[in-house]
């Protein structure tokens, strides 16, 4: 993550905007770069796990594909969007025969 991205994130947050990550990997990357209440330029490996038990600190929206119900990614999705919205979205995806995995359909999930 570079300084331009961090400056944009900080400006958006101050102006009342959202921080929407594109993908679960990007969510972990952004959340791993949080220092205090700000995202700082970072690089390297992370051990940060985003889950309902360890919720995101800055990401409040996520664009993601559909993950299998037992995948660890689903906990991250629930941490960002909430369990109720995640379960409702997954139920709709199953009912409408959405495509799964990397080359399937995607969803925009926003925390209220």
Q: For residue range 53-68, list pLDDT tens digits in order.
A: 999 999 999 999 988 8
Q: For residue range 19-39, list pLDDT tens digits in order.
A: 999 999 999 999 999 988 788
Better-scored residue on pLDDT, 8 or 77: 77
Average of per-residue pLDDT values in the chain: 86
The closest of 96, 69, 29 to 77, measured between CA atoms, is 69
pLDDT at 1 over 70: no
pLDDT at 91 over 80: yes
* pTM exceeds 0.95 for this model: no
Give the per-residue pLDDT at 12: 55
Helix/strand/coil (H, E, C) string of the chain? CCHHHHHHHHHHHHCCCCCEEECHHHHHHHHHCEECCEECCCCCCCCCCCECCECCCCCCEEEEECCCCCCCHHHHHHHHHCHHHHHHHHHHHHHCCCCCCCCCCEEEEECC
- Tokens representing 75? 């906990």
Q: What are phi and psi of 109, to 5 degrees?
A: -115, 125
- Tokens representing 107? 């969803």
Better-scored residue on pLDDT, 80 or 14: 80
| CA 2/CA 83 separation, integer angstroms | 32
């Amino acid at each position: 993550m570079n300084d331009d991205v961090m400056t944009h994130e900080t400006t958006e947050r101050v102006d009342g905007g959202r921080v929407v990550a594109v993908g679960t990997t990007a969510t972990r990357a952004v959340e791993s770069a949080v220092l205090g209440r700000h995202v700082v330029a970072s690089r390297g490996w992370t051990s940060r796990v985003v889950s309902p038990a360890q919720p995101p600190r800055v990401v409040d929206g996520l664009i993601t594909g559909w993950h299998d119900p037992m995948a660890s990614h689903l906990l991250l999705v629930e941490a960002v969007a909430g369990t109720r919205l995640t379960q409702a979205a997954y139920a709709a995806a199953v009912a409408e025969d959405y495509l799964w995995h990397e080359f399937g359909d995607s969803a925009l999930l926003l925390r209220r």
